[in-house]
Amino acid sequence: MLRLRKNKKVFVAMSGGVDSSVAAALLQAQGYEVVGVTMCFNTSFADGKRPSCCGVDAIQDAKAVAQTLHIPHYVLNFSQDLQKKVIDDFFQEYIQGRTPNPCVRCNQYLKFGTLLNKVKALGADYLATGHYARIERRRFHQGFALKKSIQGTKDQSYFLYQIQQKDLPSILFPLGSLTKERVRALARKYGLRNAQKKESQDICFIPDSGYQKFLKDHLGPQAFAPGPIKDAQGKVLGQHQGIAFYTIGQRDGLGVALGKPAYVYNMEAATNTLYLGPKESLYSQGLVARHLNFVSQEYPKKTIEVEVKIRYNHPQVRAHLTCGHGVAEIYFDKPQISVTPGQSAVFYKKDILLGGGIIEKAITIDQKGKQHHGNPP
């Protein structure tokens, strides 16, 4: 097997973290010619800091691992891509009262877009990352499939659904069958300096001061006009501080005292209105999704049964999916809570990720049994 790999060159996207470092070490041990590459973003925040993913420490950690493994290491500037494809979209989504997932767009446009094309131009046979997911050749079907990691608690396939089907043969995920504990053990075995490095849980370009200040610093306070908070009957309950600062399902920090729990169940950007209701108002029968991509199968021409995740930490739930003209309608077998526009709905068949799209609106059923596309006010 090693003979097949000795002449294969793989560029590993190295963030300075333990996952991508062990991915590089494993591929080298398997006989690949490994090259490390770190995406650097020269973007600076108002406080002068850089994103955590390309601070001096992160780049130095990646470079030190490359030296330990005796592999070349390059730092490439992706500042314009980050700004145009990820951060600008992040701003616009929040202004429209939506809750974006920038990690999905980073994977779509940066890692498996610009970076993949760049390393291919540099002679790479593969691009590898430290994601916990798998790509496998199908036995009885043509092509490849994107699959969940074997260790489901660390699975990161949800963030990868926008990978193009044609690119699957050029991508490697060496950690798809490993636990985090095993990865740290391997890092110690290979003598990597970041073996115990803490895992980042935050969006890399958001500074420590938080996303609300980040939005204000870049868009200005005039972009976040206060507006009314209403109930389902249209009664004004209070005033919000700008819909960009709220999300579907939010209960705390509303500044409204009703004597009973109330949740944000709808945000109407056109009228700058926030709607509150009881927990029951958060449940939806289904959703509409756009910006679809099917990575492990062709675009479905008829209604199919799937399991869908409506956010990363949400369990897979059974649903029926119908697509047409670039739009998907998904109807859950059982109503689901807090369907959030801007988040991703990702479709699975057991452990195979079929595809996904961006949630446009919820589909709800009112008390009279009438269907609504979007939560009714």
Report the run of H or E that residue 213 belongs to, with start and end.
helix 211-219
**How are beta strands 126-128 and 9-13 bridged, if at all?**
parallel
Residue 162 maps to a domain: yes
Which of 40, 53, 103, 106 does the annotation list as catalytic? Answer: 106
Q: What is the pLDDT of residue 201?
A: 64
Which of 40, 53, 103, 204 does the annotation list as catalytic? Answer: 204
Q: Check if the beta carbon of residue 16 is closer than 8 Å to that of residue 61.
A: yes
Q: Which of 277, 305, 321 is the last residue of a domain?
A: 277
Residue 198 maps to a domain: no
Neighbours of 352 (CB within 10 A): 19
Q: List, for the chain, all residue ranges whose pLDDT scores fall below the cut of 70.
A: 1-6, 42-55, 140-141, 201-202, 365-377
Neighbours of 77 (CB within 10 A): 12
Q: What is the pLDDT of residue 40?
A: 86
Residue 232 maps to a domain: yes
Read off the CATH number of the domain in which 56 is found: 3.40.50.620
Annotation says 53 is catalytic:
no
b/e burial code for range 210-241 (CB count within 10 A of at least 16 → b): ebeebbbeebeeeebeebbbbbbeeeebeebb
Report, in this order, helix, strand and coil percent for the chain, each rounded to 5. 30, 30, 40
The whole domain housing 367 covers: 281-373
Read off the CATH number of the domain in which 363 is found: 2.40.30.10
**Cα–Cα dist 37/174, whole Å:** 16
Annotation says 323 is catalytic:
no
User: Are 271 and 288 within one domain?
Assistant: no
Q: Check if the beta carbon of residue 358 is closer than 8 Å to that of residue 291.
A: yes
Q: Which residues make Cβ contacts (< 8 Å) with residue 313, sequence separation at least 6? A: none
User: Are 300 and 264 within one domain?
Assistant: no
Q: What is the pLDDT of residue 200?
A: 72
Residue 204 maps to a domain: no
Q: What is the pLDDT of residues 238-291, one digit of tens each?
A: 999 999 889 999 999 898 988 899 999 999 999 999 999 999 999 999 999 999
Q: What is the pLDDT of residue 374?
A: 59
Number of domains in the chain: 3
- Per the rule left: phi > 0, alpha: psi between -120 and 50, beta: everything else, 321 is beta
Q: What is the pLDDT of residue 339?
A: 97
Which tokens in the block code for residue 53?
Answer: 């993913």
Q: Check if the beta carbon of residue 266 is closer than 8 Å to that of residue 283.
A: no
User: Are 268 and 288 within one domain?
Assistant: no
